[in-house]
Amino acid sequence: METIQVELGDRSYPIFIGPSLLESGEIPLEYFGVGKIVIVSNESVAPLYMPALKGFLGERDILEIVLPDGEQYKNLDAISYIYDRLLEAKCDRRTTLVALGGGVVGDITGFAAATYLRGVPFVQIPTTLLAQVDSSVGGKTGVNHPSGKNMIGAFYQPQCVIADTGFLKTLPEREVKAGLAEVIKYGLINKPEFFDYLEANSEHLLSLKSEYLVEAVKVSCQAKAEIVAADERETGQRALLNLGHTFGHAIETACGYGTWLHGETVAMGMVMAADLSVRLGQLELASAKRIRTVLEEKFAMTVVPPAEITVDKYLSLMALDKKTELGKLRFILLNSIGEAVIRADIETEVLKTTLLAGSGLCINHEELR
């Protein structure tokens, strides 16, 4: 078992990483408190892992809440349903909520924990690769609004994160690729040697070889933990973790939540961010080509966004992006592979060129010269 600490003073917490963690006996039960335990999961995950988790917890007072599966259910209706169940069970401030599922379950459960009785403890047990390397770490919780993704939420840290890489063996290939897009993101923003590693070992990662998965999750979590410790509430460098997300969130919202997986749209968004970086003279074309090749060929990801999204639709959705400050949209762009920067001075006409091209980078690249 690997252990990484998220350093946030008296709110610090560990991330436990490795296979078969619930069976190993290495996870201290103290992180689950002494009161009632409420496990929040969904219809796909609960049959697979609820029995093992309950066996791990032993003779505790446990309430199960099982939600429908899908991004389209990440809304205030789900939060209201959880509140109803907690109140019916007379859950108090000693209750610990446990998120057993992917990013949707983790975000919903975290937000419910942050707001029920003004805050109760919760534990993250992410069951997808994307959740293990991204959404379960850092304390971002929340739900979607029809006008924008993750627009309602709170920063609220868990007691611990248990990233059992054995859970990943049951993931559909599509979910694996979506998670790997977020893994690749860490290489692009500040770990070029990690990008090299991922490029060289794409076959092992796609085939879910244990030692490669553990390494990918460990490095990703360490990278995020360091940034969160320095900028918990995203006033500065934590925004770098949103590489590809401004474009990606717009695609998710435009197409309807659940049509595309979050990681799939992040892959599209990273290629679009590379495109814009080239147009601004920041990133070499060869590097942008390499990024696209790794995503599209090495990891077999879709990088071309849906053609039906108009430039005006992109711009209207981007205007609601959480990184917008004083009316100016901040983009995460690249100076090189391994060096991301925040920019808020992008001229609309240049941005429109990238939006019109979609992911045309390296196909119609003559116009970039």
Q: Is 245 a catalytic residue?
A: yes
pLDDT tens for each residue of 246-258: 999 999 999 999 9
Angle at 332 between CA 242 and CA 185, to 5 degrees: 50
d(CA 156, CA 120): 10
d(CA 255, CA 306): 8
Residue-level pLDDT at 360:
52
Q: Is 298 a catalytic residue?
A: no
Query: One-letter amino acid identity for 281?
Result: G
Query: One-letter amino acid identity for 76?
Result: L
pTM of the model as a whole: 0.92
pLDDT tens for each residue of 330-360: 899 999 999 999 999 999 999 999 998 865 5
Q: Is 149 a catalytic residue?
A: no
Residue-level pLDDT at 363:
42
State the catalytic residue, choosing from 36, 262, 292, 322: 262
pLDDT tens for each residue of 126-169: 999 999 999 999 999 999 999 888 999 999 999 999 999 999 99
Average pLDDT of the chain is 94
Q: Is 369 a catalytic residue?
A: no
- Residues 6+ away with beta carbon under 8 Å from 199: 294, 298
Q: Is 297 a catalytic residue?
A: no
Residue-level pLDDT at 326:
64
pLDDT for residue 113 is more than 70: yes
State the catalytic residue, choosing from 42, 144, 150, 242: 242
C-beta separation of 246 from 266 below 8 A: no
The residue-averaged pLDDT of 46-70 equals 96
C-beta separation of 124 from 110 below 8 A: yes
What domains sit in the chain, N to C, each tagged with a CATH number? 2-169 (3.40.50.1970), 173-368 (1.20.1090.10)
* Class of residue 50 by CB neighbours under 10 A (exposed 0-12, middle 13-18, buried 19+): middle
d(CA 283, CA 336): 6
Q: Long-range contacts of range 145-148, CB-CB < 8 Å, 24 or more positions apart?
A: 145/75, 147/253, 147/320, 148/249, 148/253, 148/317, 148/320, 148/321, 148/322
Q: Is 224 a catalytic residue?
A: yes
- Residues 6+ away with beta carbon under 8 Å from 221: 4, 15, 17, 132, 133, 137, 161, 163
Q: Is 118 a catalytic residue?
A: yes
d(CA 205, CA 256): 29
pLDDT level of residue 365 (50, 70, 90 thresholds): very low
Helices (H), the chain: 21-24, 46-57, 76-88, 103-115, 129-130, 173-190, 192-200, 202-206, 210-230, 245-255, 262-279, 285-293, 311-318, 348-357
Residue-level pLDDT at 25:
86
Q: Is 242 a catalytic residue?
A: yes
Residue-level pLDDT at 39:
98
pLDDT above 90 covers a percentage of the chain that reads 90
Site of tokens 């893994």: 183
State the catalytic residue, choosing from 234, 252, 292, 323: 234
d(CA 35, CA 283): 53
The residue-averaged pLDDT of 178-198 equals 98
The residue-averaged pLDDT of 3-17 equals 97
State the catalytic residue, choosing from 30, 59, 88, 118: 118
The residue-averaged pLDDT of 93-114 equals 98
